[in-house]
C-alpha cells in the first residue's frame, strides 16, 4: 500500500478549471520541480463514458501529480480511482468544494458537504479500489451550514473511513446566488478555522487553500498547517513559484525566466507536430514576466499572434526579444 506520507505536500498548485491542463502543468514543472500539481476536476461521467486515454494522458515530467475527481456515486468513483492508479497518478482527490451550478446539478462539489455519510462511502469505495493516496478538497461550510460543529462532523465521518489528508479552502460556499468567481472572493477568508481543525485533529494532515498570494502567506500557512495550496497567484504570476521552490524546498538550481522559456521550446515544437495549436500553450505563459520591463509587449505579441493558424515557436522568440535581458 502507498503511504500518503510519501508525497511532499508542503506546496501544491490548486486544480483550476480551464487553466491547469497538461500544458500548464508542464510549464509550471519547469519552474517548480517539487510542488504537487493537480489536474483540473474531471467528472466521473467523463471517465466512465468518455475517451479515458485522451482525458487522463499527461507528461511524465509532471510528477508528482494528483487527479481530482468530481462525482458522488461510490461505484463510479471507485472505478475512476482504479484508473488513477493504472495511469500512475500519485494521488486521487475528491472535490467537495466547487460551488458552480453545473456541478451542483451533477450532485458533486461543495453540495456534498451536506451529505457526509455519502462522501464517507465514496472515500471508502475509492480507497478499496486503489493503493494510492485518496484525499478530499473541501470548503469550511455551505450556505447556513457553516458552524464549526458541522465542519468537524463532515471531517470526522470521512476520516473514520481512513482518509487522513484534507485540503481546506478556508471560505464557505454560497450555493445560491453567487457565481463560482464570487465564491472565491465574497465569503470571508477564515484561515483561523483551518488552523483550528489542525489543532483539533492533530493526527490528520491539513493543507491550507484560499488567499495565498505572497511568500509570507506561504510561510504563515506552513507555520500552522501541513501544507499550502496556491491557486490563482500561481497561474497569474507563475514565477512566484520559483521563490517558493528555493525557500521551502531549498532548491538551488532555479531556472531564470528566460531559461524556463528555452526549456519549454522543445515541448512547444513537439506539441505543434502533434497538432496542438500554439495558443493552447502560450495562454499559460502570459504572466511569466509580470512586473518586468517588456511584459506588456510580451503579452500583446503572444495574445495577438499565437491565435493565427500558422503560428509556431517563432512567435514566442519574437515576444522574447522585447524582454530586457
The three three-digit cell numbers of residue 265, written as one number: 521550446
State which H helix or E strand residue 196 sits in: helix 191-200
* C-alpha dist (Å) from residue 198 to 134, 157, 214, 225, 226: 19, 16, 22, 7, 8
The three three-digit cell numbers of residue 311, written as one number: 503560428
- Just list the catalytic residues: 98
199, with CB counted inside 10 A (0-12, 13-18, 19+), is exposed
Nearest Cα neighbor of 214 from 229, 233, 192, 189 is: 233
3-state DSSP assignment of residue 206: strand
Q: What CA–CA distance (Å, rounded) separates 25 from 138?
A: 22
Instruction: Give me the phi and psi of 88, to 5 degrees please.
Output: 65, 30
Instruction: Give me the phi and psi of 20, to 5 degrees please.
Output: -85, 60
Find out whether 13 and 28 touch, Cβ atoms under 8 Å.
yes
Find out whether 217 and 189 touch, Cβ atoms under 8 Å.
no
β-pair partners for 12: 36, 229
Amino acid at each position: 500500500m502507498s503511504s500518503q506520507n510519501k508525497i511532499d505536500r508542503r506546496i501544491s498548485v490548486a486544480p483550476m478549471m480551464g487553466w491547469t491542463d497538461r500544458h500548464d502543468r508542464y510549464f509550471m514543472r519547469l519552474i517548480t520541480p517539487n510542488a504537487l500539481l493537480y489536474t483540473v476536476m474531471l467528472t466521473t461521467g467523463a471517465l466512465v463514458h468518455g475517451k479515458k486515454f485522451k482525458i487522463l494522458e499527461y507528461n511524465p515530467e509532471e510528477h508528482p501529480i494528483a487527479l481530482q475527481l468530481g462525482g458522488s456515486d461510490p461505484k463510479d468513483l471507485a472505478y475512476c480511482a482504479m484508473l488513477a492508479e493504472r495511469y500512475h497518478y500519485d494521488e486521487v482527490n475528491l472535490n467537495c468544494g466547487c460551488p458552480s451550478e453545473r456541478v451542483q446539478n451533477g450532485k458533486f462539489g461543495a453540495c456534498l458537504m451536506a451529505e457526509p455519510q455519502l462522501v464517507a462511502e465514496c472515500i471508502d469505495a475509492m480507497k478499496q479500489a486503489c493503493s494510492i493516496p485518496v484525499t478530499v478538497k473541501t470548503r469550511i461550510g455551505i450556505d447556513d451550514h457553516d458552524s464549526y460543529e458541522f465542519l468537524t462532523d463532515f471531517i470526522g465521518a470521512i476520516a473514520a473511513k481512513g482518509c487522513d489528508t484534507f485540503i481546506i479552502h478556508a471560505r464557505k460556499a454560497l450555493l445560491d446566488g453567487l457565481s463560482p468567481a464570487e465564491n472565491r472572493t465574497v465569503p470571508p477568508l477564515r484561515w483561523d478555522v483551518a488552523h483550528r481543525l489542525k489543532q483539533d485533529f492533530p493526527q490528520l494532515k491539513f493543507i491550507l487553500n484560499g488567499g495565498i498570494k505572497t511568500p509570507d502567506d506561504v510561510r504563515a500557512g506552513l507555520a500552522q498547517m501541513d501544507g499550502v495550496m496556491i491557486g490563482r497567484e500561481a497561474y497569474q504570476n507563475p514565477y512566484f513559484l520559483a521563490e517558493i521552490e528555493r525557500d521551502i524546498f531549498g532548491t538551488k538550481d532555479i531556472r531564470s525566466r528566460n531559461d524556463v522559456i528555452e526549456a519549454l521550446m522543445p515541448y512547444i515544437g513537439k506539441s505543434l507536430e502533434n497538432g496542438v495549436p500554439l495558443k493552447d500553450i502560450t495562454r499559460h505563459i502570459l504572466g511569466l514576466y509580470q512586473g518586468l520591463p517588456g511584459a506588456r509587449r510580451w503579452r500583446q505579441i503572444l495574445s495577438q499572434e499565437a491565435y493565427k493558424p500558422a503560428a509556431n515557436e517563432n512567435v514566442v522568440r519574437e515576444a522574447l526579444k522585447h524582454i530586457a535581458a
